[in-house]
Amino acid sequence: MNIATTYLFVPGNRHERFDKAVAAGADVTIFDLEDAVHPDDKDAARVAIASWLAARQLSGQAANVLVRINDAASPYFSADLEWLANLPAGTPLAGLMVPKAEQPASLGGIAEALRRVNPNGALLAIIESAIGVQQADAIATAPGVARLAFGSIDYAVDLGCEHTRDALAYARSRLVLASRVARLPPPVDGVTTALAEETVLADDVAYARELGFAGKLCIHPSQVAGVQAGFRPTAQQADWARRVIEATSSGSHAVQVDGKMVDRPVIEQAKRILALSGNY
């Protein structure tokens, strides 16, 4: 149950922000080589990220860092793979975020390249297109894929639909179902672009959690605390869960809590809530 809920992006060409981003409190920091980096700056970004990782390795400091590479159809993809191949074994790179994930075979090749650097490295596959949603089940079971994420903005552009909850509901549900069937952790929801509106972020997190997501991509350090709080069970939920576990501690399920009968699914839900709150 101890899964990441916050994934914070930092542009790969802004080396002066790397340490600050890692220290911002997110569960995972994503050094970006894709959308946040101008084509003219991608080579410099690769050098900056490799230098930071090398210094981290030399100092023996761990860091839960992913690098978002460019997508397989991009003219920059081959350079990203070459960059990856040149990283020394043992580089503290936890994995890669793969954008516009569509083809499981391509993901397998990326995973193989990553394993030369980190045998335990994992892929976060971000679904951003109609093909990606259609292929969600195959992507979820592709070699090396540890979790799915939803690139809602690019997905809306691909479909030519509005970036609204109704328009994106099917895709979100598909990712939740594909993740569960593949026995992956629940997926990671896309970004909230409204940086100055905490209520919008809180509402987006609550909606994502309601659908079955258990994490969110963040584009600013100020979003981290709000996302973490939003995916954490409330005090009332944790209290209810504790009372369910206490009431059934003797092994009997023929009990009531708050006037409602407790059965096995209710007990499992209580265990899950306590696990997410760090108390089970």
Tell me: pLDDT of 45 over 50: yes
What local confidence, expressed as pLDDT, does residue 256 receive? 81
Provide the residue count of the chain. Answer: 280
Average pLDDT across the chain, whole number: 92
Q: In the predicted model, what is the mean pLDDT of residues 136-152?
A: 97
Q: Are 221 and 8 in contact (CB under 8 A)?
A: yes
Q: Is 128 known as a binding-site position? A: yes
What local confidence, expressed as pLDDT, does residue 176 receive? 98
Q: Which positions ≥6 away from 47 have C-beta within 8 Å? A: none
Longest dimension (CA), the chain: 66
* For helices 235-247 and 264-276, angle between their N-to-C axes, nearest 10 degrees: 130
Q: Is 154 known as a binding-site position? A: yes
Tell me: pLDDT of 251 over 80: no
Q: What percentage of the chain exceeds 90 in pLDDT?
A: 78
What local confidence, expressed as pLDDT, does residue 101 receive? 98
Q: Is 258 known as a binding-site position? A: no
3-state secondary structure the chain: CCCCCEEEEEECCCHHHHHHHHCCCCCEEEEECCCCCCHHHHHHHHHHHHHHHHHHHHHCCCCCEEEECCCCCCCCHHHHHHHHHCCCCCCCCCEEEECCCCCHHHHHHHHHHHHCCCCCCEEEEEECCHHHHHCHHHHHCCCCEEEEEECHHHHHHHHCCCCCHHHHHHHHHHHHHHHHHCCCCCCEECCCCCCCCHHHHHHHHHHHHHHCCCCEEECCHHHHHHHHHHHCCCHHHHHHHHHHHHHCCCCCCCCEECCEECCHHHHHHHHHHHHHCCCC
pLDDT in tens, 4-14: 999 999 999 99
What local confidence, expressed as pLDDT, does residue 280 receive? 56
Residue 25 — left, alpha, or beta (φ > 0 → left; ψ -120 to 50 → alpha)? left
Report how far residue 210's alpha carbon sits from residue 278's, in angstroms, rounded to the nearest whole number.
20
Please report the domains of the chain, with CATH numbers, ordered by start residue. Answer: 6-231 (3.20.20.60), 235-276 (no CATH)
Q: Looking at per-residue confidence, does 273 or 219 come out higher?
A: 219
